[in-house]
A and B are shown apart, each in its own frame.
Chain A
Amino acid sequence: MNMQKLAAIYHQQFTTEMAVVTQYRISIAIWILSLVTEPIVYMTVWTTITLQQGAVGGYTTGDFAAYYITWMLVRHFAVTLSPDALEWRVRQGEFSQLLLKPIHPIHTDIASNIAYKLIALPIILGMMLALATLFPPTYNLQLWSILAFIPVMLMAYLIRFLSHWILGLLAFWMTRARSFFEIFFVAEIFLTGRLAPLALLPLPIMVAASVLPFRWMIAFPVELLLGKVSPIDALIGFGMQVIWLGLEIILLMIVWRAGVRRYGAVGA
């Protein structure tokens, strides 16, 4: 399939999904509100400590505020299709009709994902502003890092999206794939910089986060935007992102081929 055709399909999917997503405005607003608790909790915990005893691991009170406010934005851009949704499709047999379409179902999911992000972006920005007035952040924005943020964020999203998609495909083989998703999510809490900026974690965890894809999914874009990454490190990080995305694409092709061959709708 040539690029032009694919772009046309994306455009079509995007408009359709935009309409679908707009139907669920209230649900989306509530869903986003529920996402805001977590960064506020961790931000409060860390700023309580910095107010007691000064900077922690190079992060001042304002740095922590900036970190978690930025984290919210990055987390929003990194939203994926949950692996549960894929599992649901496999179990309910919805995959059958997706497989009949002459296009890989992953494209629909990416287009729908992007539509959701755009619709919900104003809510996120509003909440970031509100948080910024409650917890004054110190920003040290640099033009190059803002520009570099765009490709890095795109890569980060794709890495996270693909890892969740591949994880969801486990449902082809097992009925309780959910437990594996949960392990992955817990790993995300520790390794993507949710619980604390990675610089505050013990060295072995930091190394694990950097070798595995986790750091490159969320923590890296956050630190880049905050100006905590030097240009050389940014380049190295981008290299890691390219490597992981490549690995995931290969893995996806293998798993997808094997999975689809295995898939048989119940009752077939």
Chain B
Amino acid sequence: MNQLKLVGLYFKIGVLNELEYRVNFFVQIFQSGLSLLVALGGLAVVFDHTNQLNGWTSPELLTVVGVYFLIGGLINLIIQPSMQRFMEDVRQGTLDFTLVKPEDAQFLISIRQIQIWKLVDVLIGIVIMSVGLTQLGAIIGVEQGAAFGITLLAGVAIVYSFWLILATCAFWFVRIDNILVIFESMYEAGRWPVRIYPGWLQFTLTFLVPIAFAVTVPAEALTGRLGVETLLGALALAAGMFLVARLFWRFGLRHYGGASA
């Protein structure tokens, strides 16, 4: 309960901070609009020349784009800004202030920075997803809805653990923000279902940079292509990665000597 209250508190701080810069809201809408234009324009050009891509029809791919925006929005809303703040704190030595607080340090650093305007992307994602599903004329049954919810949660957990593992490396290597550039560019690949890529890239996007589980798998759940094995696999990977990330974090923390120690 205490933790929920803390999330609420940091969210409120995020809101208060950003309300000082209201123009940013419109800047965010503008930027999201542009990336939406690129995503939809890409789909339009592709489906000008074909009516299906590796078995995915246009409304189904629209659903993928929706999930892509939704997850991307969630990552940029809280995971990425918090992790970047954490790495900055390690560099500056200000992490010590967090460590002395009477709450789990991993939890605190994971929720500390919230960019509320990224909710725009989350909203866009939900709208695009709904439009895609309406075009499909799909009726989302209880099973599909549940599968989508579960895989979405698993996807977020996997991406979070991935970021936490990378960010924890900051305890040893002071500058690693460059690596995050690679994540951002690879995330772009998630606009398309991962199975269209050649094997080595599928492997990379599934296990090294887990975009497949974040975007493609939930989209598969929504469009009714998800097998039970993949669902269980996603859950197992989420649990496994979360555990590894947690252990690695604690190992890193023990290694951390503070700013002037």
Contacts and interface: CB of A to CB of B under 8 A. Distances in A.
Interface stretch (B47-55, B114-122, B130-138): B47-55
Interface string A38-66: 10110011001100110011000000000
24 contacts: A26-B178, A30-B179, A33-B182, A34-B184, A34-B186, A38-B185, A38-B188, A41-B191, A41-B192, A44-B192, A44-B196, A45-B46, A45-B192, A49-B53, A52-B52, A56-B50, A134-B198, A134-B200, A179-B31, A182-B30, A186-B37, A190-B38, A195-B41, A200-B49
B45 A52 contact: no
Given A49-B46, A200-B48, 6 more contacts: A31-B181, A41-B188, A41-B197, A45-B53, A179-B31, A186-B38
Interface string B145-158: 00000000000000
A200 B198 CA distance: 23
Interface of A: 26-27, 30-31, 33-35, 37-38, 40-41, 44-45, 48-49, 52-53, 56-57, 134-135, 176, 179, 182-183, 186, 189-190, 195-196, 200-202
B247 interface: no
Contacts, number: 82
A22 B58 CA distance: 46
A118 to B, nearest CB: 22
A73 to B, nearest CB: 18
B189 interface: yes
Contacts of B259: none
Secondary structure dominating the interface of B = helix
Contacts of B42: 195
Nearest to B205: A37
Contact of A57 (B31, B49, B189, B200): B49
A45 B189 contact: no
Nearest to A134: B198
A202 B189 CA distance: 24
Contacts of A31: 178, 181
A27 B178 contact: yes
Contacts of B192: 41, 44-45
Interface of B: 23, 27, 30-31, 34, 37-38, 41-42, 45-46, 48-50, 52-54, 178-179, 181-182, 184-186, 188-189, 191-192, 196-198, 200-201
Contact of A44 (B23, B45, B198): B198
Contacts of B52: 52
Contacts of B184: 34
Contacts of B200: 134
A263 to B, nearest CB: 23
A157 to B, nearest CB: 23
Nearest to A135: B198
Kindly name the residue among A34, A52, A202 whose own CB sees the greatest number of chain B CB atoms within 10 A. Answer: A34
Contact of A49 (B41, B50, B201): B50
Contacts of A41: 188-189, 191-192, 197
Nearest to B179: A30
B186 A45 contact: no
A182 B196 contact: no
A189 B181 contact: no
Nearest to A42: B42
B49 to A, nearest CB: 5
Give me the 4 closest cross-chain CB pairs, A-B, nearest first: A34-B185, A37-B185, A30-B178, A49-B50
A177 to B, nearest CB: 12
Contacts of A53: 50
Nearest to A29: B178
Nearest to B56: A48
A56 B31 CA distance: 32
B48 A202 contact: yes
B185 to A, nearest CB: 4
Nearest to B42: A195
Contacts of B54: 48, 52
Nearest to A28: B178
Contacts of B197: 40-41, 44
A196 B50 CA distance: 14
Contacts of A201: 45
B45 A176 contact: no
Nearest to A34: B185
Contacts of B30: 179, 182
A9 to B, nearest CB: 32
A190 B196 CA distance: 22
Nearest to B31: A182
A251 B70 CA distance: 42
B181 A30 contact: yes
A135 B31 CA distance: 34
